[in-house]
Structure 1
């Protein structure tokens, strides 16, 4: 099994599987399945070691949130993300360069999570990533220049920002799905989200905030871009180096 007992496990990472055995645990591995943990491990007994298999209830990771919890709080809870290291972003400079204020909860997600991907699938475009493809400022400038040169045919019936009311891309996926804000409303917190697969005429429109969209993508199997159909637990994979 090549497993080990992690003394820092919590209710969202299989603590219920360790509770019946206390210090008798040698090792335990846990798999999430729906609302349950499936555990397989080795424990000590008076007659030596033995293998055990057990099932335990898996808590809703958002159950401990104080209401009213924000959508950002819910994304943090469902991914188990450590928010002690918050990224500092000069949003005034970023927004001046892009030419518009950005949604508040997107900025909070960018500060808390940084450069990486949710469930290995959804990657936010962020300032100062060092890559044109996932830097929101450089990508917005590049996409606008491309549309001015080649037209908006790829985005019909919409136009690309900085055209008035145009599409401003804020995320992409490993499968080349694209996620945009439609910037028609003067209040960026009211911008709807338009998403499309990498095929023509596949636009889908979503109302609600950026963090709400991310949360439902992670947790709702009926969401058109859901990762919940494939994973019972959810995570954020940081691309930042630990050094």
Structure 2
């Protein structure tokens, strides 16, 4: 079984999605140049019905404002794009199969993949095999903690939203336990 290193909690949890995106833009100054001129009309109904759950509003706002992007040639924040929602849904399902394999091999600190109660739902990954997931512990997606599944074997939790997690990982507020430092260099992936 993999180890749970611990849990980190933000000094102040950002509950407003716009404030979380603003914190991310402060942490990654080059991100703003990739911001869409108008919010994208993502078909959230297709994604949420396909996953069987609503998704956190900070993630939804980030996807409306930005395309998928990579940070520091390491962290890939996968976001759905209008007209490509099926592609993103397929990618999430592929990652859920990985989580299922981990669970079956007793490598997921006892956490099952979504849609199991409290299951893990992937939202980002690294180019080195790390997964960044929500632990779907409550009926309210905005309260889901982030769980980091490091390829190095250490798992840990962050008691804030995904967007705040990325901002604090980049600005150094967060200890990167089992992860390399991530530079604020951004590459946007246009679909």
Q: TM-score range by the shorter chain?
A: 0.7 to 0.9
Query: Hey, what's the Cα distance between the residues in 2 that align with 1:227 and 1:151?
Result: 24
Residue deviations 1:102-154 (CA, integer Å, cap 9, x gap) = 0000111122221221232211233359699xx54113333445628x83633
What 5-or-longer segments of structure 1 have no aligned partner?
1-68
Which of 99, 103, 125 does residue 56 from structure 2 map onto? 103
Native 8 Å contact 1:221 1:227 kept in 2: no
Point out which structure has higher relative CO (alpha carbons under 8 A, 6+ apart).
Answer: 2
Provide the TM-score with structure 1 as the length reference.
0.59
Partner residue of 1:223?
175
Partner residue of 2:143?
190
Which of 61, 68, 72 does residue 21 from structure 2 map onto? 72
Query: Hey, what's the Cα distance between the residues in 1 that align with 2:118 and 2:178?
Result: 27
Query: Hey, what's the Cα distance between the residues in 1 that align with 2:182 and 2:92?
Result: 31
- Specify the SS of the correspondent of 1:101: coil
Q: What is the root-mean-square deviation of aligned Cα atoms in Å?
A: 3.0
Query: Hey, what's the Cα distance between the residues in 1 that align with 2:49 and 2:19?
Result: 27
Query: Hey, what's the Cα distance between the residues in 2 that align with 1:174 and 1:216?
Result: 19
Query: Hey, what's the Cα distance between the residues in 2 that align with 1:144 and 1:215?
Result: 25
| Pair 1:119-2:40 in alignment | no
Native 8 Å contact 2:96 2:121 kept in 1: no
Displacement of 1:227 in angstroms is: 8.7
Native 8 Å contact 2:147 2:156 kept in 1: yes
Partner residue of 1:240?
190
Partner residue of 1:92?
45
Displacement of 1:214 in angstroms is: 0.6
Provide the aligned length of Structure 1 versus Structure 2: 167
Residue deviations 1:155-197 (CA, integer Å, cap 9, x gap) = 2311111112100011001222111100011100000111021
- Specify the SS of the correspondent of 2:165: helix
* Change beyond 3 A, Cα 1:219–1:130: same
Native 8 Å contact 1:102 1:188 kept in 2: yes
